[in-house]
Every structure is written in C-alpha cells, then in structure tokens.
Structure 1
Amino acid sequence: MKKLFVKGLIIIIGFFMIDFVVGHALEFILKNSPDGRFYKTHYSLERSKEEIIIYGSSRAEGNYVSQIFEDSLGMSCWNSGRGGQSLPYMYAVNQAIIQHHSPKIAIINAESWFLENYDHDNPFFDRAAGLLRPFYYDHKEIQAVINEVSYAEPFLNLSSLYAYNSSYYYLLRPYAFEGIDGKIEDKGWKPKTGVLNPSGKPLSILNTDNKINPIYKKFFDDFIHQLNSRGTKVYLVISPDYNKKVINTSTIEYFKSLDNIVLLDHSNNEKYTKNHLYFNDQNHLNEKGAREFSNDLALTIALDMSSNYLQKSTLAIK
C-alpha cells in the first residue's frame, strides 16, 4: 500500500511539473506571437488604446476596415472582431479593455437575431472560453464569461494543459504561416477575397418573434452600460447579408427600444443586399464591399458627430 501511495504521489508531482513547464512554454509562445488570433486577443485584452474599438464576430472582423475609420474620423481604430464568436467573446474583450482604456467610440456589429441565441444551438460561451482560457487568471474580469461553461472552470483552469487544450494549433501556426488571421498593419481587419456566385441563392426572409435569451440580455445590457458609463458613444450596426430581407425580430425590437445607443440597421440596405459583387459569401462582405460599407458607416458617424445628424436613435437604411 505504501509503495502504491508513493507511486501515485510521484505521478501527481510529475503531472504538476509537466503542467508547469509546458504552461510557461505556451505562455511564452502566446505572448511573443508575431500575429494570429491569439496575438489579436492578447492585444485586445491588454494593449488596445485606440479611440475607436470595433467589436463583433467574423462580420465585424471582415466588414469594417480600420484604416478607413481612422482616415475619415481622424481617430485611431482597432478591430477586435473574431470569427466564430458572438456576444460572450466581445463582452469579455470589452471587460478587459475598460480596465485600462475608455474608447471614444464603440462600433458593435450585431446580427438581427443577436439576443436570441441559446447555447444548445450556438455554443458561443464555449467558443469564447476556448479562446480566452489562457488569459483566465491574468484577467479576472473575463472569468464570468468562461464560468458560464461550467462551475468547475475556476479549478480546471489551474491546469495550463487544460487552459491551452484547444489552442495548440492556432498558437503555433503564426510562426509557420504569416498573416493567415490578418496582417498587423490592418489593425484587426481581416479582408475576405473572392466574389459570391449568386446562382442558387434565393431570397431569404427573416420574420420571427423568438424569445430573447435572458442570459444574453443581461450580458448585453451590462456591455452597453459599461461603455456608456465611461462616456463612450455606442453605434450598434446590423450588417447586410446577400439577398436577405429582414422584416422583424425580437432582437431588433429590443434594440429599437434603447435610448443609450445609435442603431444603424443595414439589414435591408439594397445597395448591398442586391449586389453579389460586394460579397464573399451570403453573410460576409468581400474586400470591395467592406471598403464601401466602412466608408458609408464612417460618413454617417462623421455627420452625427459634427451636427447631431441622427435625431433618433435608430437609422434603418433601405
């Protein structure tokens, strides 16, 4: 029995030693990454001090050209958008940003069904946790998002092998392949190339009254409150999708009820929704479309800033 106990103790000590050494090696790789998704997340959490911060999913990452906003508005800009993510990730990123910086403008890309996500359909809390776990103990302000996945997260993340479990490939990729997740000089923007083939893409219509997820609503309300309380002007933007018509959703109705944001709804803007040349696929603008869309948004924001152009909190562009 004593020998068994000693062997077990040796195995446990060995595991912790391996975990410690591997964890420090992975942390070094992450914090010295030349580019890539972990470079971007690390920068967003700890170093972003731009006057304009863009938040969102792959639509934010690809549809909003940072340099255009800088040139048009005369302010520095960082695009913190991340493909495959949604509200949980952008909430966590903002929680970290506001610890060291208060942006003048926040541009939040939201989908028409943004608040109607349920994790059994779209596990966005789990996706966010997969990218954020390596930062769990360096940034206590993001823990609320990760802890939504499991009550055990505070204990599991004590292990570096667990925290980095879904990260190895994306941690190492930037050292072998440059710029796959965007170029440093593009300031978070990740352009999409190619043009959508419009054949076989019939008109889709979105008209729902799905129940809003109360957890998402809680995080969203706090997200907006945290920005407002720091004097940040919040623009909530719904990007266009190709050949899609949005009649109404519970999310849009809720957005319209808010008086602490400016809603710029481009979901039915036919300049884009009817022009396949602006799209890479049905849900994402290509580089040409992103540049045009960013110019349109920057002009609207510039007019609003200079002359109180937006008398109402909602502007729906047809």
Structure 2
Amino acid sequence: MKRYITTFSKIMKFVIIVLIVDVIFGIVSNHLFFLQKTGKYARANLVIYETEAEVLIFGSSHAHRHYVPEVLEKQLNTTAYNAGAEGQQLLYHLALQKMVLKRKKPNLFILNIDEDFLYSSDIAYDRLNDLHPHYSEYGDDLRPIFKLKSEFVDVEMFFKSYLLNSTIVHILRYYISPQLDYKGYRPLNGTVTNDHITSKLMEVNDQVKEIDENFVLALKEFINNSKSNNVDLVFVISPTLRNINSNNKSLGMINEIADKEEVPILNFLDDKNFKDKLDWFHDPSHLNDTGAKYFTKLVSERIIKEKLNN
C-alpha cells in the first residue's frame, strides 16, 4: 500500500511540475505573441484588435498579394487593410471575420475567391493552428470551427503550450528579420517568362476532387455574417495565367451560392486587360506589384459601378 501511495505522490508531483511549466511557458509566449510587429501573426492581431479600416480584404495569397490598400483608399476615398493570409482557406477567413465583427462593423468586405475553395483539403483544417492563440478570448466563436478538426478542442486548448507552440519560431524569425508589409499587402516583384509558364498552364483536372460541405457552410455563414451586420460584401476572382476548368465544380457552386444570396461577383479570370500580360505576373497564379496595382484599380472601379462601399 505504501508503495502505491509513493508512486501516486510522484505522479502528482510530475503533473504539478508539468502544469507549472505549461503556465510559465504560456505567460511568456503570450506576452511575446502580442509584441510582434511584423509577420502573419502581427497582421492578424492588427485586424482583430486594432484596425479601423472601412474596407477589409479576405483571402489566400491571391488576396494578400493582389490588393493594394493605398490604391483602394485613393479610388474609394476610404480606409482599407489587407487581411489576406498565405495558404489560408474559408474556415480561417470565417473565423477571422467573426472576431473582427466582435469589435467593428466595416463598410465593405472583399473576399477573393479561389476556384478550389470548396474542395476537400486537410491543409485548410491544419492551418487553423494559426488562430489557436486567440482561443482564450474568442473561444465561443472559434470552438465550432476548431471542432471540425478535433472533438477534443477544449482539452487541447487547456494547455497553453499547445495554444502557442507553433508561434515561437515565427516570433523569433520576424524579430531577427522583419517582414515588411503595406497595410497588410506584400508585393511580389519580378516577371514570369514563357519558359516558366510552359509547364504550368495545364488545365487542372478536378474530376476526382470532392466538395467539402463544411466549406460550403462556411461560405454561407460568411455571407450571413456580413448581411446581419449590414456590411457590404463582394466576391472577386483574380486574373490568372492558368487554365481553369470551365466545369470546375467548386467555382460553379460558389457562383450558384453568390447568385442565390445576391452577392456580386467581380470575375477577372478572362479579363482582356490581363491576357498575355506576362510582365504583370510574378508567376502563373500571382500578380506582381505592377499588376496588383492595376488590378486593385479595376476592382475599385467595379465596386463604384456596383454602388458598394456606401
């Protein structure tokens, strides 16, 4: 009996030590997390806690690299911030939108649409880790989204080391080498060449891809959140040099949802202004800084024509 008591005592001491270390790690990491000035976490923090911009742009790298807030501000006579995030998909944008709306109601949301937004993607779930540090404050809003990945979200989020362990490397990286941006926009330089795109323009075969119903619901919720908070919403599809399948199921469903919900779609996929303009592209999928500035100007003009951003 005495041996069992001794063993139990050792286990309890170990658990207590682990919890103490976890708390200390959490306090230090949390402090460093909110001190960040550059990088993806710093931009997300600014969107969630600080920006008063009346126009917010959401989307993946095509949003992050294609929309120049200064151009939007000049054309629309307003304030703008680019909340685009590299590699992030609809679940992340929905979560970010929900946190933003807790603090501020902008005039306009621009959601840049990727043609594969509704296709199943494990990456879309895995990259929700970027929002873990906000769970303590926004648990009610984030829990339903995080539960799509794990049913044990509350247990996992109890441990501060789990919440913040993915952020430390980024904190150190951007402290040593700051990642500059311009109101969230990070320009790409250089131009694509014919040799570069020869093997990149193959039409993507999406016949084996499946629609993820969670992404469909996320898109609909993004729309409903905008409407219920009286925020104008517009979908934009960026220009590309890639050949997009005309029967793309994801894009077709997005168009159907937008039509039903009366959300304007500004589609630049086949826009003649970008046809064969290799000097405006950094790669077959992304505009360079010159192309992004011109594209943002065109988007602004279409927004004015659609009488959005009132």
How does the TM-score come out when normalised to structure 1? 0.88
Cα deviation code 1:221-266 (max 9, x no counterpart): 0111110122211110111222424423223333333242110111
Shift of 1:94: 0.2
- Asked if 1:271 corresponds to 2:269, the answer is no
Q: How does 1:232-271 map to 2 (within 5 A)?
A: 232-257=231-256, 258=259, 259-271=261-273
Gaps of 5+ in 1: 309-318
Gaps of 5+ in 2: none
Match of residue 70, structure 1, among 68, 73, 76: 73
**How many Å separate the matches in 1 of 2:67 and 2:54?**
15
Q: How does 1:80-119 map to 2 (within 5 A)?
A: 80-115=83-118, 117-119=119-121
| 1:63 alignment partner, SS class | coil
- Say if 1:105 and 1:233, in contact at 8 Å, map to a contact too: yes
Shift of 1:101: 1.3
**Structure 1 vs Structure 2 CA RMSD:** 1.9
**How many Å separate the matches in 1 of 2:107 and 2:124?**
27
Q: Which amino acid in 2 is paired with 1:194?
A: G
Mark the CA change 1:233 to 1:296 in structure 2 (over 3 Å): closer, same or farther: same
Shift of 1:9: 1.2
- Say if 1:48 and 1:97, in contact at 8 Å, map to a contact too: no
Cα deviation code 1:166-196 (max 9, x no counterpart): 2221122222112x2x33xx11111112211
Q: How does 1:127-206 map to 2 (within 5 A)?
A: 127-128=127-128, 130-140=129-139, 141-178=141-178, 180=179, 182-183=180-181, 186-202=182-198, 203-205=201-203
**Percentage of pairs with the same residue:** 22
Q: Which moved more, 1:297-306 or 1:33-42?
A: 297-306
Residue-pair matches, total: 299
The match for 1:61 is 64
How does the TM-score come out when normalised to structure 2? 0.90
Shift of 1:138: 1.0
Structure with greater helix share of residues = 2
Cα deviation code 1:59-89 (max 9, x no counterpart): 1000000111011101111111100111111
Mark the CA change 1:245 to 1:2 in structure 2 (over 3 Å): closer, same or farther: closer
Q: Which moved more, 1:16-25 or 1:260-269?
A: 260-269
